[in-house]
Amino acid sequence: MSDEVFSRIDASSHKYLEDLKEFLRIPSISALSDYKAEVARCAQWLKEHMITIGLQKAEVIPTSGHPIVYGEWMGSDSGRTILVYGHYDVQPPDPLDLWQTPPFEPSVREGRIYARGAVDDKGQVMMHLKAVQSLLEEYGKLPVNLKFIIEGEEEIGSPSLDEFLVQNKDRLSSEAVVISDTGWIAPGVPSITYALRGLSYIQVDVYGPKSDLHSGSYGGAVMNPAEAIACIIASLKDDKGRIKVDGFYDKVVELTSQEREEFSKLPFDEESFRQALGVDQLYGEEGYSTLERLWARPTLDVNGIWGGFTGEGSKTVIPAEAHAKISCRLVPDQDPEEISDLLETYIRKITPPGVRVEIQRMHGGKPAIVPIDHPINQAAARALEKAFGKKAVFIRAGGTIPVVASLKEILGLPSILMGMGLPDENAHAPNEWFLLDNFYGGIKSVAALWLDLGAA
């Protein structure tokens, strides 16, 4: 049965790609308040597109932040209902000068589409819409009922989503969620992600003298805030890459020896991984492999640091303040709020004398895990094999989809993570791309999954 739809998808590929480009041209950057109107425009576009492809209902639902786009098609014979989650907002594109083509002018080169949001997550949202479109065009109906929540605040931690889920619990009733916002372990190896890391994100602000000082007239007499923040950061890890924050590892579920063995069999080549990143050597917590560090160990990274004179030339100044954005990736059973508390306590403890520290809580997300043998995880594996002609593997991911934890807690639903990204795809970095073969194969996978679930 899927053959007919697959042919239709092949025949429509050019048209589907043009629709994706239109979606990508809207700079829906949720983190920057200047782009609020663009985010709203994107939501409106998405709603209209849902109607165009044949959903029965579509709606832009305001929140206290950026709107949520809701859509549904509820006329299936099987009576099964699946919720699809995705996001139409994107990361800021800077540094702009490192993009080969502008981030919001999609460009196809060597079988990839380059644009901010290409793979994270507009391209993958579009896969779902095009699967629906092709099924409706082919059969006039869908094999399962579908409800879509496509939000506009994923990249800033989904601050409005939980309230929406609480208020719309009945309307969203379904048996599971399918999300395409993850990636494959390697090109050509379709992958389903069964666990995600969580996130705890803070900003550390260090304040010293009340204004910038001449380093000649004052150098030697005051604690320099840029040095203070460097000392704070340097004190967060030991020389084995282990995080020194008191209590940080207390709730970490250690990997089983079976998991470690299965990870080691996956097609992951540390040397190619290293080369692709362009570093002389990989580096991480002692005692763990790279995959273990990425998937099952918590981490701490400085995402940004700034203070003092950062322009051309040399300015002999002692900065009045310095700042850092710091985030931790968390694993089961770490709690983001608790980790932020531990971080704050520890940073206050190690702040050098002569400066004042302030800590802002940014967003967080809980880590998540869904069993490999969940029936829809298994159906997804069959759908991927049908679409790509290759056996799917089960992996973890280092990234965070905080909504997965919310969907579990508020709606009681497991999330099936069937994403089509690839390593080195530059999500959150300049020159983000999405492999077109995975875009088209992703459309087929989604269609095959609905057919599989409808037939069961």
Is residue 312 close enough to count as binding a second copy by CB under 8 A? yes
Is residue 63 close enough to count as binding a second copy by CB under 8 A? no
Is residue 78 close enough to count as binding a second copy by CB under 8 A? no
Q: Which of 204, 152, 162, 182 is nearest to 32 (CA)?
A: 152
Please say which residue, 52 or 211, places its beta carbon nearer to a second copy: 211
212 to 251: interface string for a second copy, x by CB under 8 A: xxxxxxxxxxxxx-xx-xxxxxxxxx--------------
DSSP structure class, residue 116:
T
Q: Looking at 38, 89, 153, 321, which residue is catalytic?
A: 89
Cβ 398 to a second copy shortest distance, Å: 5
Q: Which of residues 22-41 bind a second copy (CB under 8 A)?
A: 31-33
Is residue 102 close enough to count as binding a second copy by CB under 8 A? no
Cβ 407 to a second copy shortest distance, Å: 18
Other C-beta atoms lying within 10 Å of the C-beta of residue 294: 20
Residues 6 or more apart from 101 whose CB is under 8 A from it? Answer: 107, 114
Cβ 382 to a second copy shortest distance, Å: 26
Cβ 41 to a second copy shortest distance, Å: 19
Cβ 139 to a second copy shortest distance, Å: 37
Cβ 352 to a second copy shortest distance, Å: 8
Q: Which of 199, 107, 185, 27 is nearest to 432 (CA)?
A: 107
Please say which residue, 75 or 304, places its beta carbon nearer to a second copy: 304
Interatomic CA distance for residues 38 and 138, integer angstroms: 34
For residues 73, 77, 80 and 85, what is the CA-based torsion angle, rounded to 10 degrees?
-20
* 154 catalytic per annotation: yes
Candidates 135, 322, 387, 449: give the one binding a second copy (CB under 8 A).
322
Please say which residue, 332 or 423, places its beta carbon nearer to a second copy: 423
Is residue 417 close enough to count as binding a second copy by CB under 8 A? no
Is residue 402 close enough to count as binding a second copy by CB under 8 A? no
Is residue 403 close enough to count as binding a second copy by CB under 8 A? no
Interatomic CA distance for residues 153 and 33, integer angstroms: 12
Please say which residue, 58 or 300, places its beta carbon nearer to a second copy: 300
Work out the angle at residue 384's Cα, subtended by the Cα atoms of residues 16 and 150, and round it to the nearest 5 degrees: 50
Interatomic CA distance for residues 29 and 32, integer angstroms: 6
Candidates 63, 78, 168, 290: give the one binding a second copy (CB under 8 A).
290
Cβ 257 to a second copy shortest distance, Å: 20
Is residue 301 close enough to count as binding a second copy by CB under 8 A? yes
Please say which residue, 161 or 449, places its beta carbon nearer to a second copy: 161
Q: Which of residues 367-396 bind a second copy (CB under 8 A)?
A: none
Cβ 396 to a second copy shortest distance, Å: 11
Is residue 356 close enough to count as binding a second copy by CB under 8 A? yes
Is residue 271 close enough to count as binding a second copy by CB under 8 A? no
Is residue 315 close enough to count as binding a second copy by CB under 8 A? yes
* Alpha carbon distances (Å) from 207 to 16, 51, 308, 315: 52, 52, 12, 19
Is residue 119 close enough to count as binding a second copy by CB under 8 A? no
By CB neighbour count within 10 A (0-12 exposed, 13-18 middle, 19+ buried), where does 98 fall?
Answer: exposed
Is residue 92 close enough to count as binding a second copy by CB under 8 A? yes
Please say which residue, 190 or 307, places its beta carbon nearer to a second copy: 307
3-state helix/strand/coil string of 169-234: CCCCCCCEEEECCCECCECCECEEEEEECEEEEEEEEEECCCCCEEHHHHCCCCCCHHHHHHHHHH
Interatomic CA distance for residues 369 and 193, integer angstroms: 9
DSSP structure class, residue 16:
H
Q: Looking at 120, 121, 154, 452, which residue is catalytic?
A: 154
Q: With b meaning 16 or more CB within 10 Å and e meaning fewer, what string describes 314-327?
A: eeebbbbbbbbbbb
Stretch of 93-101, 144-152, 172-180, 249-257 contacting a second copy, by CB under 8 A = 93-101
How many residues at the interface with a second copy, by CB under 8 A?
A: 101
Q: Which of residues 156-215 bind a second copy (CB under 8 A)?
A: 156-157, 183, 197, 199, 201, 203, 208-215
Q: What is the bridge-based pairing of β-strands 81-87 and 145-151?
A: parallel
- What angle do the packed helices 436-455 and 13-24 form, to 10 degrees? 110
Q: Which of 360, 353, 299 is nearest to 325 (CA)?
A: 360
* Residue numbers annotated as active site: 89, 154
